């Protein structure tokens, strides 16, 4: 195994009191690679993603930095639409599923103790989606489909693998999907979330979204939605209570919903992460064109931008043993990054968020905004973002005229050698 102690590139305090520590995990990660983050039975956090060399890599967050292991030298990871491809057993095992380009078959890479071994994915003659999940007993599940939209769930038993049909989605000239997600609830039962967009002939286009729950010895439909409008597209599943929570988003426009009902925000791509705190507070993360976003819900949804480079494709969120948020995400050209929240609101052990001990006061600017020279780069340039993350002004060292901007709250992003510092400013009337 390889060890790396990466420098912390950013420590920034946000308006609601929490502090985000943002660091680059792996600069050699493939641009826009799918990313999964799981918490092992011992509490350690592991990330799975692809590298520029084509390897499937796992990275473990330790006290001394990130520890890397390449489990497959030439791998094709599932798209972010099939999740999760990386899972942790309550008994200490890890499993990453991918296509081995060298061997020419789909494989499950499993870690027992500190050693990784591989096996050919069951039912390899079917079209596997390489989606894996463990139940509370440690049984491994994987998702298969027929190459169309007939979905099956395979489970590992003491005597081998068994396979059960779940659902057939409409596939008449389908053009979006099919998409399949697999998760297990805290009670150990597996859940399946499927989506498919299809045409009945121009100009009619329909979407089918289904949620199934395995109970007793059969699959029971929780809901099934057909629509000719922008039916939600599934983004993430997670274990929660006696059921499963999910994030969905409209296929066009990027509007993110929770349980298909509550509007949270806007994402640049149909990828997001969902987790729960110890008191069942839902926590979400997604990316915009300018920065990642963290959201949590108590009485209502609250969102905060996270200082760091913009994400692309893969993003996932977990809660560490210290009850703090960890977000790992992929970027377009700078590898995989990690944002760790300190004193994050809504993620305490208490059932309700406590009063904040301090609040970062914004800088009030009228007329000119000064940008100091950076100590690590000669340019020291940056930009001014509005509340939605849209760039409204390029900044340079010295005084910058902001008198013509509309009054409001803005964020200054200062470009430094490998870090980006963000501070909040208010331009009054």
Cα torsion for 232, 233, 236, 240, to the nearest 10°? 30
| pLDDT at residue 64, as a whole number | 85
pLDDT of residue 419: 42
pLDDT tens per residue, range 18-53: 688 899 999 999 999 999 999 999 999 999 999 999
Instruction: Return the closest-CA partner of residue 181 out of 109, 265, 247, 229.
Output: 247
- pLDDT tens per residue across all 429 residues of the chain: 454 444 444 444 444 456 888 999 999 999 999 999 999 999 999 999 999 999 999 999 988 889 999 999 999 998 877 888 999 998 899 999 999 999 998 999 999 888 899 998 888 777 777 889 998 888 899 988 776 678 888 888 888 898 888 888 766 555 567 778 888 877 778 888 887 776 666 655 667 778 888 887 788 888 777 665 545 566 677 766 666 777 777 655 677 877 766 778 887 766 788 888 877 788 899 888 788 899 988 888 888 888 888 888 889 999 888 888 999 999 988 999 999 987 765 555 433 333 333 333 456 677 778 776 654 444 456 788 765 556 788 888 777 888 778 776 677 776 544 444 566 677 775
Q: Given this model, what pLDDT does residue 359 score?
A: 36
pLDDT digit string (tens) for 83-97?
A: 889 999 988 999 999
Query: pLDDT value at position 351?
Result: 36
* Per-residue model confidence (pLDDT) at position 349: 41
For residue 261, what pLDDT is reported? 66
Residue 97: the pLDDT is 94
Q: Where are the domains of the chain?
A: 2-342, 363-427
Structure confidence at residue 316 (pLDDT):
93
Return the CATH architecture of domain 2-342: 7 Propeller (2.130)
């Amino acid at each position: 195994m390889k060890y790396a102690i990466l420098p912390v590139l950013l420590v920034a305090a946000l308006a609601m009191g929490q502090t985000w520590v943002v660091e680059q995990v792996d600069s050699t990660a493939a641009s826009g690679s799918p990313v999964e983050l799981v918490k092992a039975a011992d509490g350690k956090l592991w990330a799975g993603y692809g590298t520029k060399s084509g390897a499937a890599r796992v990275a473990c967050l330790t006290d001394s930095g990130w520890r890397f292991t390449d489990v497959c030298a030439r791998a094709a990871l599932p798209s972010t639409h099939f999740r999760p491809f990386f899972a942790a057993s309550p008994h200490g095992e890890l499993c990453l599923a991918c296509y081995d380009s060298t061997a020419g078959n789909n494989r499950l890479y499993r870690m027992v103790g500190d050693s990784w071994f591989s096996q050919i994915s069951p039912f390899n003659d079917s079209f596997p989606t390489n989606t894996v999940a463990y139940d509370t007993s440690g049984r491994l599940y994987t998702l298969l489909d027929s190459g169309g939209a007939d979905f099956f769930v395979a489970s590992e038993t003491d005597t081998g693998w068994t396979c059960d049909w779940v659902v057939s989605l409409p596939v008449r000239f389908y053009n979006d999907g099919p998409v399949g997600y697999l998760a297990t609830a805290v009670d150990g039962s597996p859940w399946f979330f499927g989506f498919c967009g299809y045409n009945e002939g121009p100009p009619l286009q329909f979407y089918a979204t289904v949620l199934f729950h395995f109970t007793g010895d059969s699959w029971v439909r929780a809901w099934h939605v057909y629509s000719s409008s922008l039916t939600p597209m599934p983004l993430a599943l997670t274990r929660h209570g006696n059921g499963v929570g999910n994030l969905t988003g409209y296929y066009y426009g990027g509007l993110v919903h929770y349980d298909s009902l509550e509007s949270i925000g806007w994402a640049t791509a149909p990828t997001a992460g969902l987790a729960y705190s110890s008191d069942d507070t839902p926590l979400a993360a997604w990316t915009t064109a300018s920065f990642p976003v963290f959201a949590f819900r108590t009485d209502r949804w609250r969102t905060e931008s996270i200082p760091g480079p913009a994400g692309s494709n893969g993003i996932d969120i977990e809660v560490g043993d210290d009850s703090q948020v960890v977000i790992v995400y992929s970027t377009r050209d700078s590898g995989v990054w990690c944002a760790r929240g300190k004193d994050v609101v809504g993620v305490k052990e208490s059932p309700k968020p406590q009063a904040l001990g301090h609040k970062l006061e914004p800088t009030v600017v009228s007329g000119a905004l000064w940008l100091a020279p950076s100590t690590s780069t000669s340019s020291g340039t940056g930009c001014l973002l509005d509340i939605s993350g849209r760039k409204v002004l390029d900044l340079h060292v010295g005084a910058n005229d902001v008198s013509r901007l509309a009054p409001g709250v803005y964020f200054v992003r200062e470009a430094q050698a490998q870090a980006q510092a963000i501070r909040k400013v208010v331009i009054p009337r």
